[in-house]
Structure 1
């Protein structure tokens, strides 16, 4: 239940990082509101891995348990909805939701993640997070030594091939058009028996998101168990930019060593500022951000 609309901290984004920050702040006796629209980026992923005590658990189960634990702290409140406007005020910040609710706070934490811009190849979106994978540390063990493809080109394709070869030697690099690998890169991959396929992809044949074959435009096919792909992305929430927060060259929110963005009073945690995306890293950065926000409020009170 939300008693009034004034808070020490508003956290926008209530997934792993936002909940972790909320717990840190709740345990610091801060009055916190978590605003979340309920669309985590890994909602299609069947299992989360490489997060100690939760390895192999369903992502929604982890977040549900986390929310129950955070709800124990009576200074933390939740609002289900979408934040659509944010302004700087004399006393802090004002956030408006899609339903017209307005909340104010001294500080804001954006834990809003990023939006993956998926390929329009038929079958690709349906397989994303299930058998089309972004991270071998999150999912590589489950497809170890299986017939695997990487969809990439140039330097990215070369480096990604090197990495994935740690989990499987049955590997092919699909450049989806003319290869932009250097002669040296091509030779190194061939020496390591990485097949290079320059054919363009027509579609992915799959069963309930589990890829079976890659169909090429020339009507050839290749059978694979998994595909790795580094999807381009954009910020899931545009409010930080509307407030003047700077982005890095690759489109992540720029923060300092204390999780502070370039705008005073605004912090960021989780995937919206971390290039290496995982549940464990999101939780870690959220916990740290909560502590740093609390410290900043304490420092401002002792003047």
Structure 2
């Protein structure tokens, strides 16, 4: 029997696997290799890893994990997780079954882009989702915030840290009050509420945003506010409590509301989606798993 099955091979899952290995715990990490950051050219904000390509980071991380013989990595899709008799039964797409004492979900999130013509051509190259990750590379440019909800106000303010030329596009939605628009405009952040016809670009570089009224506004880069959904249904299927914003409810060590099920990384939707934070969450959740396994061993029969 495995001590733990880790589902998801991003920074959270890999760091969890590393901690499990260093504790000598028998674990398998399942990685379908469909990361949320597959459009990302470089990852930033992680000391000693600033500017690393996601593929290179993953390669290095796997090398670290593979030093520990009790942990293995399998490139398989998990199809079914069931809890029965206090243990978990896991079945892969290939039909292989595993049994584990604990399950750690590091499946991450999936971005849902607004339905705007041309946005796929620039997402990940000149239009991003996180200013802390990519703001430095966009500094001083003519920037756009594309947001169809109330987050437009927050992101309009935040992006002004990197440029004094910011335009907030709400794509036809009335999501800002007059007071909020006044606050932004006093800091020279322009608000455009007209419907967007499409984004123009050249080789992945945003050049302008064309509105349905025929106006075309020159922009060089920007931030788009995406909707975030869970990449896998396992938490809900296992009965874990889901927060109002769609995240998995966890404590400080990744424990969900279902005993034996843990979650880490972006899945909780409670922290910014950054490489360094996801890795740290994986570390903490693995520590939670190990502490609980140790405590169980000391329970009186």
Normalised to the residue count of structure 2, the TM-score between the two structures is: 0.96
Q: Is the 8 A contact 1:110 1:267 kept in 2?
A: yes
Structure 1 partner of 2:75: 80
SS in 1 for 2:132: helix
How much has 1:249 moved relative to structure 2?
A: 0.6
How much has 1:265 moved relative to structure 2?
A: 0.2
Deviations 1:161-197 (A, max 9, x none): 1111111110111111153321211211121111111
Structure 1 partner of 2:217: 222
SS in 2 for 1:150: strand
**Pair 1:285 & 2:281 matched:** yes
Higher mean alpha-carbon deviation, 183-192 vs 248-257, is at: 183-192
Structure 1 partner of 2:198: 203
**Residues 181 and 31 (structure 1 numbering): CA distance in 2 closer, same or farther, change over 3 Å?**
same
**Pair 1:34 & 2:29 matched:** yes
How much has 1:302 moved relative to structure 2?
A: 0.5
**Pair 1:161 & 2:152 matched:** no
Structure 1 partner of 2:229: 234
Counterpart of 1:300 (choices 279, 288, 296) is 296
Structure 1 partner of 2:87: 92
Q: Distance in 2 between matches of 1:125 and 1:92?
A: 42
Gaps of 5+ in 1: 1-5
How much has 1:209 moved relative to structure 2?
A: 2.5
Structure 2 partner of 1:57: 52
Q: Distance in 2 between matches of 1:106 and 1:87?
A: 12
Superposition pairs for residues 171-210 of structure 1, below 5 Å?
171-210=166-205
Higher mean alpha-carbon deviation, 170-179 vs 46-55, is at: 170-179
Q: Distance in 2 between matches of 1:258 and 1:195?
A: 42
**Residues 154 and 181 (structure 1 numbering): CA distance in 2 closer, same or farther, change over 3 Å?**
farther
Q: Is the 8 A contact 1:119 1:125 kept in 2?
A: no
How much has 1:214 moved relative to structure 2?
A: 1.2
Structure 2 partner of 1:253: 248
**Residues 17 and 155 (structure 1 numbering): CA distance in 2 closer, same or farther, change over 3 Å?**
same
How much has 1:143 moved relative to structure 2?
A: 0.5
SS in 2 for 1:189: helix
Structure 1 partner of 2:260: 265
Q: Distance in 1 between matches of 2:285 and 2:203?
A: 38
Structure 2 partner of 1:3: none
Query: How many residue pairs get matched?
Result: 298
Q: Distance in 1 between matches of 2:96 and 2:280?
A: 30
How much has 1:218 moved relative to structure 2?
A: 2.4
SS in 1 for 2:150: helix
**Residues 178 and 68 (structure 1 numbering): CA distance in 2 closer, same or farther, change over 3 Å?**
closer
SS in 2 for 1:44: coil
Q: Distance in 1 between matches of 2:79 and 2:86?
A: 20
Structure 1 partner of 2:109: 114
Q: Is the 8 A contact 1:206 1:213 kept in 2?
A: yes
Q: Distance in 1 between matches of 2:148 and 2:36?
A: 25
Q: Distance in 2 between matches of 1:262 and 1:77?
A: 27
RMSD: 1.3
Q: Is the 8 A contact 1:175 1:199 kept in 2?
A: yes
Q: Distance in 1 between matches of 2:81 and 2:5?
A: 11
**Pair 1:14 & 2:6 matched:** no
Q: Is the 8 A contact 2:253 2:287 kept in 1?
A: no
How much has 1:131 moved relative to structure 2?
A: 1.6
How much has 1:156 moved relative to structure 2?
A: 1.6
